[in-house]
Amino acid sequence: MKGRFITFEGIDGAGKSSHVEWLAEWLRAQGKTVHVTREPGGTALGEKLRALLLNDDMHLETETLLMFAARREHLARVIEPALARGEWVVCDRFSDATYAYQGGGRGLDRSKCQILEHWVHDHVQPDLTLLFDLPLDVARERIVLANRVLDRFEQERVDFHERVRQAYLERAQHHPGRICLIDANHPLENIRQKLEQIVIERCS
């Protein structure tokens, strides 16, 4: 039995995280063993790196290297062992986020991301990536309504988030077999139906 690796992506406020747990429960109801995890994070060390990445000011290349350092740990200790056991991994963000945020948002040379991607996970790619997309003003409104302390990325200006969104959409164009675009501006029920349908089509 082959395990499956599904990642969730999107700009801040796209609402993807609320669908992660739901999809995992739906998969469990189909008899799968499912691990829900996230990036940056997913291991004890990764969660420490997450706290630094979300709160401390740092050089762009340091930020990128730490994202991939956390990812290496995550792959080695959680993702790869689970897939090897034939289990499913549902992960809130993965390397597409580095291309979108550090590459698109902050302007890191794409080739540097590619070098790190090859080094860290040349042999592992998600089977399916669900990219939640919606207009920036709607995403911003959701963040404001949540009324919580914003992290370093959420505090960025609108033009940063617009570049992140565009970089995600470009990745979806370049990887149509893996990345599936979800219109996140629809009612929850419609989105869930769509997720079921996509997972059945692409991961059976």
Interface with ligand TMP (CB under 6 A): 12, 38-40, 67, 92-93, 97-98, 101-102, 153
- In order, the DSSP letters of 127-176 are SEEEEEE--HHHHHHHHHHH-----TTTTS-HHHHHHHHHHHHHHHHH-T
**Minimum distance between the CB of residue 86 and ligand TMP, rounded to whole angstroms?**
25
**Minimum distance between the CB of residue 100 and ligand TMP, rounded to whole angstroms?**
7
Separation CA 14–CA 138 (nearest Å): 8
Q: Which is nearer to ligand TMP, 32 or 175 (CB)?
A: 175
Q: Which helix (DSSP H) or strand (DSSP E) does residue 110 occupy?
A: helix 110-121
Listed in sequence order, the residues at least 6 apart from 163 whose beta carbon sits closer than 8 Å to its beta carbon are 104, 105
Number of other residues whose CB lies within 10 A of the CB of residue 4: 21
Separation CA 138–CA 10 (nearest Å): 13
Number of other residues whose CB lies within 10 A of the CB of residue 192: 15
Q: Which is nearer to ligand TMP, 12 or 180 (CB)?
A: 12
Q: Which is nearer to ligand TMP, 35 or 38 (CB)?
A: 38
**Minimum distance between the CB of residue 103 and ligand TMP, rounded to whole angstroms?**
9
Q: Which is nearer to ligand TMP, 88 or 94 (CB)?
A: 94
Q: Which is nearer to ligand TMP, 4 or 71 (CB)?
A: 71
Q: What are phi and psi of 135, to 5 degrees?
A: -60, 150
Listed in sequence order, the residues at least 6 apart from 17 whose beta carbon sits closer than 8 Å to its beta carbon are 8, 92
**Minimum distance between the CB of residue 10 and ligand TMP, rounded to whole angstroms?**
8
**Minimum distance between the CB of residue 119 and ligand TMP, rounded to whole angstroms?**
15
**Minimum distance between the CB of residue 1 and ligand TMP, rounded to whole angstroms?**
28
